[in-house]
Structure formats: C-alpha cells, structure tokens
Amino acid sequence: SHEETRRPPTKSKTLGRCPDTPPTLVGPLHVEFDSQRTLDDVREMISSSLREGGRYKPPDCVAQQKVAIIIAFRNRHEHLTHWLYYLHPILIRQQLDYTVYVINQDGEGVFNRAKLMNAGYVEAMKQYDHDCFVFSDIDLVPLDDRNLYRCFDNPRHLAVAMDKFNFHLPYKTYFGGVSSLSKGQYLKINGFPNTFWGWGGEDDDIYNRIIFRGMSISRPDSVTGKYRMIKHKRDLHNEENPKNAGKLRQTKQTMNKDGLSSLKYTVKEIKKDILYTFINVDIEAPL
Ligand code: UD2
Ligand code: MN
C-alpha cells in the first residue's frame, strides 16, 4: 500500500539480542608496536565507527552488557595510541556497547592506579548506565580477540598469559593487568583500595577483597588469554612502595572503610575525543 512504501525498510525492525559468541572474531592477532604510529592515524582509521567520547554500539543487535573500559593514566601518550589502535577494532568485533575512559592523574604526585580506577567507576556511571567495568593497564594489548572484554558470573582476570611473564601466570592469585567486574561485583567489594600509593600490591588487595566476599576468579584459557605488554621503564613518581606489601595482610580489616565508601577526588576536566573520554582528576596525591 501507499503507507508501506513510505516506511524506511530497516528502521522499523526491532533489533534482536547480540549472540553469546560474536560471529566475526578472528582468533590470534598480529601485534607490533610501530613507533611511527600517530593518534591521527588511529583517528582516521577508526573514528567513523565511533561516537564522541570513544563509544560504540553494535548497529545490528542489542549488546548484552554496557561496558565501561577504565584506564588509569598519566604521561603514556605513545602507549595510548597503540592501545586505541588495537583495542577499538577488537571491541567492535566483540559487539560490545562500550565506552573508553582514560582517567588521568593530575599533577606530579605519587601515582595511584587503584584510586584512579575508583574515580573512573564513579565518573563512568555519571555518563551512562554501565553494568560492566573492565579495568586495564594502558600498555597491555590482547593477542586473541576471543578474550571477551565483558563481565562473567565471577570477577574475571583477563591478562593471564603475558609475554613479560613468558606467557604464564606469575603466581596463582595474580590479578594484575586487565580485569573485569560487574557493577554488583564491584560494589560487593567496596570497589578498590584508595590507599596503595606508588607501585605494587593494589592488584593483590583487590584479589583478597574478592575472595573475602565469597567470590572466585574467572579466567580465559592460556591461549585465549595471551597479551603483549609494551616495553617500558618504571615511571617517575610511581616507585615501588614498601608499605604496600604489609597492607596486604590487613585487607579483611580495611576493605569496608577503604574503597568506594571513602573515595575523595575532584574532577578538573572532562574532554571527549572521538577515540576516548579523557577525565583529569585530582586524587590528593602526596608529593
Ligand atoms: C603491573 C601490573 C599492573 C599493576 C602494577 C602495580 C602487569 C602487566 N601489570 O604493571 O596491573 O598491578 O604492576 O601497580 O603486571 N600508569 C601510567 N602512568 C604512570 C604510571 C602508571 O599511566 O606514570 C598506568 C598505566 O596504565 C600502566 C599502569 O598504570 O600500564 C601500571 O603501571 P606500570 O605499567 O608501570 O606497572 P607494571 O607494568 O609493573
Ligand atoms: Mn606496564
């Protein structure tokens, strides 16, 4: 009829749920960190698929989860370029509804990865109704796109087989690098600790929190869970903190008062690039 011919053919169709296994994954990936790569190259290649702030939604199905990718960051722009170059195409193939948040620590004080992740959680929730959080280092690129950046029945450790550890777990309870927690799992552990200043220990504290709240760790197999870490030296103002190891014996006593419930920071700037949402935060770092 007349009515029917005027209706746009695709818009009126309701979308189905995306399948459990995304159909366009390719498996093992070739990854190399070419120093000539620039952020503008990456923008040119990928930005037509994205929306402002580094967001994506599959066009042909409804994603099962709304994922926030949270990266603790300061002064690693070259790594950011590589990460965006590799991760956006992977996350798109994984059919995720996702947003990339780069949480930048303002100033020159002592770095605090876990506190930045907490600020990232709170700020991401202000932007969108996320139900899953993937916490990642800026220098880790997966070598297999079947390693899904989403949430599971238990908190998930994704970076199980890194080149720097000879493609093995360094120890059984290791939880560093890349992990995912649903909103419910994250709230159950009161988020991450705010008090691990400098390098080391915060990942083990998060592991402890998860176990003390009766959950276990989910992991991909060691083929799917392969990663390459961009080679780097320890950054300035992120020296190993000897106090952190001792704090690990206290997790059970401290986790209810140190975490999301005690988080204090201020947002200095939010900038939406096409490739990511950049949030500059003052986390009251000691100098
Ligand atoms: C290990 C863990 C990491 C974390 C850390 C201890 C691996 C692969 N990762 O990383 O998850 O537990 O030990 O804190 O084993 N960062 C900046 N700017 C800085 C300092 C750090 O952006 O100045 C960010 C960045 O995202 C980096 C992450 O913090 O990837 C971890 O720091 P790192 O890469 O220096 O530490 P690494 O490789 O020993
Ligand atoms: Mn690293």
Are 196 and 114 a contacting pair, CB within 8 Å? Answer: yes
Average pLDDT over all residues of the chain? 96
**Tens digit of each residue's pLDDT (9 = 90 or more) over 64-75:** 999 999 999 999
**Tens digit of each residue's pLDDT (9 = 90 or more) over 226-267:** 999 999 999 999 999 999 999 999 999 999 999 999 999 999
The candidate with the shortest Cα–Cα distance to 70, out of 10, 12, 132, 19, is 132
Tokens representing 141 are 């690129």
Confidence grade of residue 12 (pLDDT, cut at 50, 70, 90): low
Are 229 and 165 a contacting pair, CB within 8 Å? Answer: no
Q: Select which of 139, 144, 145, 258 is catalytic.
A: 139
Q: Which residue ranges have their beta carbon within 6 Å of ligand 1? A: 71-76, 111, 113, 137-140, 162, 176-177, 199-200, 202-203, 229, 234-235, 238
Q: Is the ipTM beyond the 0.90 threshold?
A: yes
Which runs of consecutive H residues, i.e. helices, occur in the chain? 2-6, 39-46, 77-93, 113-127, 183-188, 202-212, 242-247, 251-254
**Tens digit of each residue's pLDDT (9 = 90 or more) over 128-179:** 999 999 999 999 999 999 999 999 999 999 999 999 999 999 999 999 999 9
Q: d(Cα 154, Cα 169) in Å, to the nearest integer?
A: 19
**163 a catalytic residue:** no
